[in-house]
Amino acid sequence: MSEAHAGENFSAKSLIIIVLLSIVGLVLFLVLIAKLANSGMQVDAGGPTMTNEAVIARIQPVGVAKLDESGPPGSRNGKAVYENVCLSCHGAGLAGAPKFADTAAWAPRIAQGFAKLVEHANKGLGAMPAKGGAADLTDDEVARAVAYMGNAVGGKFTEPAIAGAGAVAAGGKVDPATKGKEIYSSVCMACHDAGVAGAPKIGDKAAWAPRLKDGSEAAIKIATAGKGAMPAKGGYSGSDEEFHAAAEYLINASK
Ligand code: HEC
Ligand code: HEC
């Protein structure tokens, strides 16, 4: 009887000890977790233990700032967008991004089809922020970069045309009145509408006359190469033929 009593006493005591030890253990565990979380924030930039969030926070501002130098918004091609934005993660495969030209990493993704890939790249997926963090990219610019990356692993994707699709017949002449006007409105207008940076204004015959004295072809040639504050092709990244159509449109409206 007394033995059983002692046994009861013992188990009640050990229960209290176990409960106390568990509480102490839990507190220690929480303190440890908090310490780990803090040290994660202060981790060395080059360290291998950076969280995806930390990697992404460091990468985004760099890419977005450099993108602006590659051409007017909307007109940047897949290569330019890739090199200025996507490369920061996809170049080395940071944060779990499928690496550029890594066929094995891309194969299951490519299998989803171009439309799905473009949708994911525009809306974001997992650790990948929408548009790779460059919110000012147009959906088409992102799609061009997806095509550029996809084609590097054997995809057969076509980059969406610059300044609207469909107006350029393959190998055909680019029409200044439609396509030229479209490119003018999306690229050249930024300077030539108001005469920014000394650009001859559209429709300003006096400003254009001296530039057209050797004919419009000579002026277009100069503009293709760039002159003074006018960047080569006005920063337009499409074909020479398309630029030519935009210049024709501009000149036709100014003589
Ligand atoms: C901050 C890092 C980061 C940047 C910048 C970035 N990506 Fe990604 N990308 C990722 C990660 C991570 C994944 C994998 C996401 C997943 O599967 O959870 C990914 C996946 C993708 C995929 C595959 C989507 C799918 O359906 O499997 C495409 C396409 C893609 N990125 C395109 C782009 C393009 C285009 C850009 C540039 C405009 C870009 N990415 C910039 C991190 C990035
Ligand atoms: C960033 C501003 C800017 C943009 C964008 C721009 N231009 Fe210009 N453009 C200029 C300036 C400035 C000049 C005058 C350069 C000079 O004479 O020093 C000029 C001159 C020209 C000329 C005359 C060249 C000559 O013979 O003097 C043509 C033609 C022309 N631009 C066409 C275009 C077309 C077409 C586009 C769009 C695809 C375009 N530009 C976009 C700034 C711009």
**Mean pLDDT computed over 164-170:** 39
User: Would you state the pLDDT for residue 46?
Assistant: 45
d(CA 82, CA 134): 11
Q: Note the pLDDT of residue 130.
A: 96
Count CB-CB contacts under 10 A for residue 216.
Answer: 18
The yes-or-no verdict on residue 146 having pLDDT over 60 is: yes
- Which residue CA neighbors atom 27 of ligand 2 most closely? 211
For the stretch 170-197, pLDDT in tens is: 344 677 777 888 889 888 888 899 888 8
The larger pLDDT score, comparing residue 242 to residue 15, is at 242
Residues 233, 223: Cα–Cα separation, whole Å: 6
Q: Are the C-beta atoms of residues 253 and 180 closer than 8 Å to each other?
A: no
Quote the ligand 1 centre to 233 CA distance (angstroms).
31
pLDDT per position as a tens digit, 127-136: 999 999 999 8
Answer yes or no: are the C-beta atoms of 70 and 236 closer than 8 Å.
no
- Smallest CA-to-CA distance from 135 within 123, 119, 150 is with 123
Q: What is the CATH number of domain 52-151?
A: 1.10.760.10
What CA–CA distances, in Å, run from 26 to 38, 40, 85, 162? 18, 21, 44, 59
CA of 198 to the centre of ligand 1 (A): 41
CA distances from 122 to 130, 146, 152 (A): 5, 10, 19
Cα–Cα distance for residue pair 190/166, rounded to 1 Å: 23
Mutate to test the pocket of ligand 1, among 60, 66, 86 (most ligand atoms within 8 A of CB): 86
In contact, 68 and 47? CB cutoff 8 Å: no
Higher pLDDT, 42 or 142: 142
- One fold for 52-151 and 176-252: yes
Place of tokens 């479209």: 182
pLDDT at 175: 76
Average pLDDT, the chain: 80
Domain-wise residue ranges, the chain: 52-151, 176-252
* Alpha carbon of 254 to ligand 2 centroid (Å): 13
Mind spelling out the 3-state secondary structure of 177-192?
HHHHHHHHHHHHHHHH
Contacts of 163 (CB under 8 A, 6+ apart): 74, 75, 179, 182, 183, 186, 187, 238, 242
Nearest in space to 236 (alpha carbons), one of 179, 163, 170:
163
Q: Six-digit token pair at 250? A: 């501009």
User: What is the third-level CATH fold of 176-252?
Assistant: Cytochrome Bc1 Complex; Chain D, domain 2 (1.10.760)
- Cα–Cα dist 227/254, whole Å: 19
Q: Which ligand is nearest to the CA of 207?
A: 2
133 with 94: CB under 8 angstroms? no
DSSP-H helix ranges across the chain: 2-41, 52-67, 78-81, 87-90, 103-110, 114-123, 139-151, 181-183, 189-192, 205-208, 216-225, 240-252
> Is the pLDDT reported for residue 70 higher than 90?
no
For the CA of 73, the nearest ligand: 2
